[in-house]
Structure 1
Amino acid sequence: MIRRYIVLINVLLFFFSLFISCHAVEAAKNQNIKPYKSAILMEVDTGRILYKYNIHKRLPPASMTKMMLMLIVMDKVYSGEISLDDEVRVSAAASRIGGSQVYLKEGEVFTIRELMKAIAIHSANDACYAIAEYIAGTPEGFVALMNEYAKKLNMKDTEYHSVHGLPPSKGQKEDLTSAYDSAILAKRLIQYPEVLQWTSTKTAYFRNGTFKLENTNKLIGRFRGADGLKTGYYSKAGFNLTATAKRGDTRLIAVVMGAKSDRARVNESAKLLSLGFALYHKKVLLKKGSPYNKEIEVLEGDPDKIKPIAGSDLTVYVKDSELPKVVVSLKDVPLLKAPIKKGEKIGRFVATLEGEVIGSSYAICPEEVVKASFLKKLYR
């Protein structure tokens, strides 16, 4: 009888341990499941990637497509090709664009500034179409321009087929990009202060105050330092967000793609930005004008050896625990031969962490180096 009880207890313990093991495996799997399809966190000053998950996975950006349109417009404004005060007459085709919109009517006239505000704040698809026609003549012509820009920015995961990011109609191709390319694009776009002024605006008015623009980015006004940048959504794409925030002199960009809900993309973006601000700190390894700790030879020079100095601050963003592991080295130094002008670039200072480049600045000659006289060469 006792032996039967022992056998029964052992069997029960076996099944109990099996049950616990299965739940442990399932819990581990669930921990590895991300609430998005891809994500990235980037520090803007150095471009260092602080967090990454499937960053080159090609996904539909939806309305984050509009970031490229905004960049092209601002480049043309700053080059003098167009002005934010240029007037755009709405075509019949532009008035028929659906999705998020400001309900443009054929024949209405708005400035580029007004239309850009509608795009940046309210994600207006019809405003994108109107601007694309104004600049390139047709949306197709503007899409070609967008793809040219993507190549120039080395956005290898990206292809555009629309100016606004709406889901493709039958027979059309969808826009594709990655979290990495979106961060690169955002880094370039936020150079324009007007863009951040618009994307940080929670509400504004359009059409002489008769239409209220509501910011689609729920981080604005809720996350300290958040001032941009662009949301995107349709069913297949999921919920996307390219977010940026600045605290002190640190600016971060977070991209979340393919989240399950608006709340998820906002929460996950906030988590990434919070992680960056909490764990990573700015460290200046070499101040502008500081000398390197090694001399390099100058052929036929007087002096014949120099210590390069930093032409700009060599800055990194690291965790405190990473700082002792950072190595600074001098790279890309050509064979130096006199004469060399003071301040002439002679290479790069590079900061690496376990083989990854996390910061750089250019190295310059600290003084004028002239050709050594015959006597100096003779007695060396």
Structure 2
Amino acid sequence: MLKSRKVIIIILAVIFFAGMASETPAAEINGISADAAILIDAETGQVLFAKQPFKKRPPASTTKVLTALMAIETGCLKDMVTVSKRAAGTGGSSIYLSKGETLTLSDLIYGALMKSGNDACVAIAEHIAGSVDRFVQLMNIRALAIGTLNTHFTNPHGLPDEEHYTCAYDLALISRNALANMKFSEIVATRDKVIDWPGKEWDRKLHNTNKLLWGYLWADGVKTGTTDAAGKCLIASASKDNRRLIAVVLRSGDRWGDCIRLFEYGFNHYEYRQVAVAGEQYRMLRVQNGTEEAFPVLYESDLGILIPSDTPDAIEIRPEIKAYPMAPLRKGQVIGFVSYYINKQYTGKVKLIAGREVKKQKWWIHFFDSFLRLSWRNFDKCLEK
């Protein structure tokens, strides 16, 4: 039953988002070598560029974004974690944990995100959920809650497995959620850090694997990933002029250059516009059978979107609102929606609500009012004759 429900959600979501993502003009960014790529705005979630965004691919160590986020959200960073034999024996990239040593959960998260330690991820999973299998179940539940369309994880680190996959769009969603967490955002922006190495005369020195932190002025995260199956992958974020963009490239021939080209395109070709402000009036709307003829319709929430700089008039507004709603109406009642499109691509929607209460008119007053209106209408017709 759960599997069938997931399939239905995926189908509906792909239908909804596919037009928005697939129609994003790829020709405007030359030289994107990645098999799959996407660029989104971190604040609005708006897709600015997409290349095979829903193609199922192995994610390699970009998996660790969700592992770390879950550890931060559900664990105590000061907890002391004892490393198990399984964690210490995990293959691939490592921070060289030993069975029985103890580190803080915080240090393990730094090790997972900065040094891409697979052993740190297993230690995190066992500490948070009691076992790797239970942690992975929680990962998949969390991924669905975020809104992923084509993701299934079988481990917390990203080592190859046929049933371990995701797509560029899903990784962008996961990263957008993760970067909203201040602690996560702080960790992935860290270039170098020293953490404890119990039993040694020296400490562990972590050097972030994300070279963009040194090679691109605006870069501030997120995570690299590399395996033979996945190729060279990168989730990257960059902030400039109070805007933050997230780029994902999978199986890239030049992951650093690809992300820089995506960021430059996003920063240089789009500008932010506030199209709705919570509580601001959208319009006055007439009402049927009410104690007053019209009432104010307000935006329920804020909404900002990115508009192409070279075509500022590309925005299209599509209201979905019932004409002459029937009283009574309560303050805050949803009256309709207003949707925004850029070059026919959906970018956002805001609910429209009643700005004040409108009571229903007494039946006899309504009857008398209708009678007078009808009488005046007939009188006017007589005059015309």
Q: Would you say 1:229 and 2:222 are equivalent positions?
A: yes
Aligned equivalents of 1:205 and 1:107: distance in 2?
20
Query: What's the counterpart of residue 36 of structure 1?
Result: 34
Per-residue deviation, 1:335: 8.5
Per-residue deviation, 1:174: 5.0
> Aligned partner of 2:109: which letter?
M
Aligned equivalents of 1:333 and 1:197: distance in 2?
46
Cα distance per residue 1:305-351 (max 9 Å; x no partner): 33412233332101133331312232365984433333343332211
C-alpha contact 2:316 2:344 (8 A) present in aligned 1:
no
Q: Would you say 1:67 and 2:56 are equivalent positions?
A: no
Cα distance per residue 1:103-123 (max 9 Å; x no partner): 111111112111111112111
Shifted more, 358-367 versus 60-69: the winner is 358-367
Q: Out of 261, 266, 279, which is 1:276 matched to? A: 266
Aligned equivalents of 1:275 and 1:161: distance in 2?
35
Alignment of 1:256-275 (within 5 A): 256-260=249-253, 264-275=254-265
SS in 2 for 1:341: coil
Query: What's the counterpart of residue 375 of structure 2?
Result: none
Alignment of 1:135-284 (within 5 A): 135-168=128-161, 173-207=162-196, 210-260=203-253, 264-284=254-274
Q: Would you say 1:342 and 2:331 are equivalent positions?
A: yes
> Aligned partner of 2:241: which letter?
G
Q: Would you say 1:131 and 2:124 are equivalent positions?
A: yes
SS in 2 for 1:73: helix
Cα distance per residue 1:201-243 (max 9 Å; x no partner): 0000111661110101111133233211111001221110011
Per-residue deviation, 1:354: 3.6
Q: Out of 305, 314, 321, which is 1:316 matched to? A: 305
Aligned equivalents of 2:109 and 2:325: distance in 1?
50
Against the structure 1 CA distance between its residues 116 and 334, is the aligned structure 2 distance closer, same or farther, given a 3 Å change threshold? Answer: farther
C-alpha contact 1:334 1:346 (8 A) present in aligned 2:
no
SS in 2 for 1:175: coil
> Aligned partner of 1:45: which letter?
E
Query: What's the counterpart of residue 282 of structure 2?
Result: 292
Cα distance per residue 1:246-300 (max 9 Å; x no partner): 223211110000013xxx101110110111011100012333333224x434343
Aligned equivalents of 1:249 and 1:372: distance in 2?
49
SS in 2 for 1:113: helix
C-alpha contact 2:308 2:314 (8 A) present in aligned 1:
no
Against the structure 1 CA distance between its residues 241 and 344, is the aligned structure 2 distance closer, same or farther, given a 3 Å change threshold? Answer: same
TM-score by length of 1: 0.82
Q: Which runs of 5+ in 2 are unaligned?
A: 1-28, 371-385
Shifted more, 274-283 versus 295-304: the winner is 295-304
Aligned equivalents of 2:129 and 2:264: distance in 1?
40
Aligned equivalents of 2:227 and 2:150: distance in 1?
20
C-alpha contact 1:61 1:240 (8 A) present in aligned 2:
yes
Per-residue deviation, 1:197: 0.3
Shifted more, 236-245 versus 356-365: the winner is 356-365
Aligned equivalents of 1:40 and 1:204: distance in 2?
30
Q: Which runs of 5+ in 1 are unaligned?
A: 1-30, 77-81
Q: Would you say 1:111 and 2:101 are equivalent positions?
A: no
Q: Out of 353, 359, 363, which is 1:370 matched to? A: 359
Shifted more, 98-107 versus 197-206: the winner is 98-107
> Aligned partner of 1:255: which letter?
V
Aligned equivalents of 1:65 and 1:157: distance in 2?
14
Aligned equivalents of 1:292 and 1:32: distance in 2?
40
Aligned equivalents of 2:336 and 2:84: distance in 1?
53
Aligned equivalents of 1:334 and 1:250: distance in 2?
38
C-alpha contact 2:153 2:165 (8 A) present in aligned 1:
yes
C-alpha contact 2:279 2:299 (8 A) present in aligned 1:
yes
SS in 2 for 1:240: strand
TM-score by length of 2: 0.81
Aligned equivalents of 1:243 and 1:285: distance in 2?
28
Per-residue deviation, 1:84: 1.4
> Aligned partner of 1:65: which letter?
T
Aligned equivalents of 1:266 and 1:33: distance in 2?
12
Against the structure 1 CA distance between its residues 63 and 220, is the aligned structure 2 distance closer, same or farther, given a 3 Å change threshold? Answer: same
Per-residue deviation, 1:374: 4.2
Identity of aligned residues (%): 32
Query: What's the counterpart of residue 54 of structure 1?
Result: 52
